[in-house]
Amino acid sequence: MHHTIIAAGKPALKYCKDGTAEYLKRLTRYGKYELKHIKDGSSEDVSKRHLEASQGSIRIVLDERGEQLTTEQLVKKISDWEMRGEKRATYMIGASDGHTPELRDSADLVWALSPLTLQHELALVVLLEQLYRVATIQRGEPYHRV
C-alpha cells in the first residue's frame, strides 16, 4: 500500500523537521511513504484540499477528537486494509483551526494520537513514528516493546 501523508502549512520547527526527516528515511526500507505539504489557510480551504488530494484512497483524518488506538489496533487496521487490496492510504493533518465536519464525515478513520491538542508539526512526527513502528511490527523486527 502507498502511504501519503498530507500536512497543512510549511514546516518551520527545526526539531520537527529533523524528526520528520529521520522517520521518512527509516521508512524507505519498508515501502512507499510520501509526505506532501499543502497550503495553509482556513479550515474550509485546507479540508477542501485534503478531500481533493485523497480521492479514491483510504482516508485517515488526524484529529484529537477521534478514535484512540493502541499500536496493535493500528497494525490490525493497516493490515486489514492491505489484505483487502486497498492501494492507497492518505493521512491528513490539519491547520490551526482543524478539519471541517465534511472531511471528518468522509473519513474511514478519524484518529486521535492522544486527547491532547498537539502542534501540527509535532503531530506529524508522532504519526511518522507510529507508521515506522507499525512497519517494524509487520516485519517482526524488534523495535517495538510492549
User: Taking CB under 6 A as the rule, which mask of x and - marks residues 68-107 in contact with ligand SAM?
Assistant: -------------------------xx-xxxx--------
C-alpha distances in Å from residue 123, one per residue of 4, 68, 72, 90, 127: 15, 14, 19, 15, 6
Give the binding range for ligand SAM (CB under 6 A) out of 22-30, 31-39, 48-56, 62-70: 62-70
C-alpha distances in Å from residue 10, one per residue of 7, 28, 67, 114, 116: 8, 22, 27, 23, 22
Q: What's the closest the beta carbon of residue 6 comes to ligand SAM, in angstroms?
A: 10
Between CA 57 and CA 44 the distance in angstroms is: 20
Residues of this chain that bind ligand SAM (CB under 6 A): 62-64, 93-94, 96-99, 112-114, 116-120, 123
Annotated binding site for S-adenosyl-L-methionine: 62, 94, 113-118
